[in-house]
Chains A and B, each alone.
Chain A
Amino acid sequence: MNTAENKMISKSYSHGLLIPGMLVYGIIFVLPTVVSFYFSLTRWDLLHVEFIGLDNFKTFLTQPSTRTAIPHTLVYAIITCVCKVILALAIAVILSNEKIKSRTYLKSLIYSSCILSTVAVGITFTQLMHPSKGLINQALRVLGLPTYKFLTDKNMALGSVMFVDVWRGLGTAMVIYLSGLGAISKDYYEAAAIDGATGWKQFTKITLPLLVPSINSVLTLSLIGGLKSYELLWTMTSGGPGYSTEILGTVIYKLFARSSYGLATAGNVLMFIIVCAIIFPLNSYISKKTVEL
């Protein structure tokens, strides 16, 4: 009986259907990831390989053009992620209130920025943040406030791009929260109201604990997105002024463009290590906090 059943399974669910997908994924994604560990230890021009040990990593972590990339990447990813997690939660909680008549409109409008291409958003905001005639500075001038060189001041550029990143990414986080909030049964709130718990207490004792899965996915998605990000920074500042907005994504591209393939691969391996070192412990920590319904 058992062998007949096994035979039926292997016949009806043939491994053949698994092959096309795994083949593309294996050759284009898995194989490069695996060999990247070896090539990061070499001087490499795509044809000739020379093993040089950990030299690439030493260079990457000491050269002025690359050594700031890791701290910048961490700052960029963590700050944009925290802003999205908190701001989107606040917006979603407000919009989940059924008394707000324009909630569908507001939800669509806030989400609309997420469907636009990052390059288009980057180009538009670069002009809005123009140091002398940009609209933001025009508005500040009208209000009698000091103007800023948003993208050309070393101390402001990274922050300005982070602002645009949050502007663009907020919608996705908000939509995820809204569906999480929609799944929380109204009974909990009614029961809490009878027991005398109001507003803030309901939020911290009911909403937040039951929303942990949504918070987890917003956190993970935006953190991974931030660590891998590249497009917005490349469009708005290209890593400048100086090296003040270099992150791993821009540095790897620049090294690739000037054919330093081994060094670029080392940067990629560092990105891989950072992503894994942050995401896996974080996920296991949060899954412990998840409340069973």
Chain B
Amino acid sequence: MVKRRSVWSILGEVLAILVTGITHWVVYYFAIINACKTRAEAAQLNLKLPKEWAFIDNLKYVWNFNNRVFLRSFFNSVTITVLSIIMVIFVASMAAWIMQRRGGFITKWSDKIVLAGLTTPLAVVPTFWVLRTLHLNNTIPGIVLVEVALIFPFSCMLYKDFCNNLPREIDEAAIIDGCGPLQLFFRVAFPLMKPITSAIIILRSLVVYNDFTNPMYFLQGSKSSTVQLTIYLFQSTFVTDYGRLFTAVLLVCIPPVLLFLLLNKQIMEGVTMGAVKG
């Protein structure tokens, strides 16, 4: 049955490689090569190799700029990401477990309300008002709660689909052996959810780290600003200083790119989880 490849098929593949070379590699190369240039050279915005390699100088400048604001905001971003993901893993897996395992009025309505959150946009001003009332606006705990609330519906849905395939016999055996509700969940159910937990950790941490809108609303002008807000401000601070601007852009992209290089397969698989409902 194996047919030889037609000329057209080979030609198509070569064309695809060339086109993506222009649409993707040129864009990445442009950002990287301009991060290596001095102010005057970077102002040309071209693809030529720099006459004078200035990457280390740019790096030092961005690093030390404004009392190391970049480093501080990077640290904040990482803190927010880690805290949000840990919290959402626990609250979503517990909630989904109960919603999937037992019926009744409360679970049914919780389920419906959570599902509605998949499409609904966040009502930003009232949320700001709630956070302000709780004295949590412009603080890291405040933004963590917002991120958790926003990822909660989707994570819940993934966990619920997964619990659907966990046999109830396991629970029954554990209950007969005397497991209470907490033991049943933490000792028996949660460890079995590992595949979906890791998918949520990988993909949602990218979402939280890259988030710009919510820090913009809920971390205004505060010391706890995130790295995305910082590079946004750099765009107007380094207005014609493209070398330094692109250095900052590259630094921001390092964590997601590392994650992508290390966990390429898991990320791609994670994208499709929950995207298509069986």
Q: Which residues of A contact B (CB under 8 A)?
A: 8-18, 20-22, 24-33, 35-36, 39, 46, 94, 97, 99-102, 106-113, 115-120, 123-128, 130, 133-135, 138, 167, 172, 175-176, 179-180, 213-214, 216-218, 221, 224, 227-228, 230-231, 234-235, 249, 252-253, 256, 261, 264-265, 268-269, 271-272, 275-276, 279
Chief secondary structure at chain B's binding surface: helix
Known: A14-B181, A111-B268. A253 touches B217 (CB 8 A): yes
The answer for the CA separation of A100 and B277 in the assembled complex, in Å, is 29
**Closest 5 interchain pairs by CB?**
A21-B91, A32-B126, A21-B95, A28-B149, A36-B123
Determine if B209 is an interface residue (Cβ-Cβ < 8 Å). yes
Q: Are B252 and A120 in contact (CB under 8 A)?
A: yes
Q: Are A94 and B16 in contact (CB under 8 A)?
A: yes
> Which of A115, A167, A217, A252 is in CB contact (< 8 Å) with B275?
A217
Chain A residues with CB under 8 Å of B124's CB are 252, 256, 264, 268
Q: Are B276 and A175 in contact (CB under 8 A)?
A: no
Chief secondary structure at chain A's binding surface: helix
Chain B residues with CB under 8 Å of A138's CB are 45-46
> Which of A13, A33, A120, A264 is in CB contact (< 8 Å) with B101?
A13
Q: Are A235 and B271 in contact (CB under 8 A)?
A: no
Q: Are B47 and A135 in contact (CB under 8 A)?
A: yes
Determine if B113 is an interface residue (Cβ-Cβ < 8 Å). yes
Known: A28-B149, A175-B271, A268-B125. A115 touches B217 (CB 8 A): no
Determine if B175 is an interface residue (Cβ-Cβ < 8 Å). yes
The answer for the CA separation of A115 and B98 in the assembled complex, in Å, is 32
The answer for the CA separation of A125 and B28 in the assembled complex, in Å, is 11
Chain B residue with minimal CB distance to A124? B31
Q: Are B130 and A134 in contact (CB under 8 A)?
A: no
Contact with A along B182-219 (1 / 0, CB 8 A): 10110000000000000000000010011011001100
Known: A115-B256, A116-B253, A117-B210. A9 touches B102 (CB 8 A): yes
Q: Are B276 and A214 in contact (CB under 8 A)?
A: yes
The answer for the CA separation of A101 and B129 in the assembled complex, in Å, is 55
> Which of A12, A94, A126 is in CB contact (< 8 Å) with B12?
A94
Chain A residues with CB under 8 Å of B26's CB are 135
Chain B residue with minimal CB distance to A220? B119
Q: Are B252 and A33 in contact (CB under 8 A)?
A: no
Q: Are A32 and B123 in contact (CB under 8 A)?
A: yes
The answer for the CA separation of A35 and B107 in the assembled complex, in Å, is 23
Determine if B127 is an interface residue (Cβ-Cβ < 8 Å). yes
Determine if B70 is an interface residue (Cβ-Cβ < 8 Å). no
Q: Are A31 and B107 in contact (CB under 8 A)?
A: no
Chain A residues with CB under 8 Å of B276's CB are 176, 179-180, 213-214, 216-217
Determine if B128 is an interface residue (Cβ-Cβ < 8 Å). yes
> Which of A18, A176, A234, A256 is in CB contact (< 8 Å) with B110?
A18
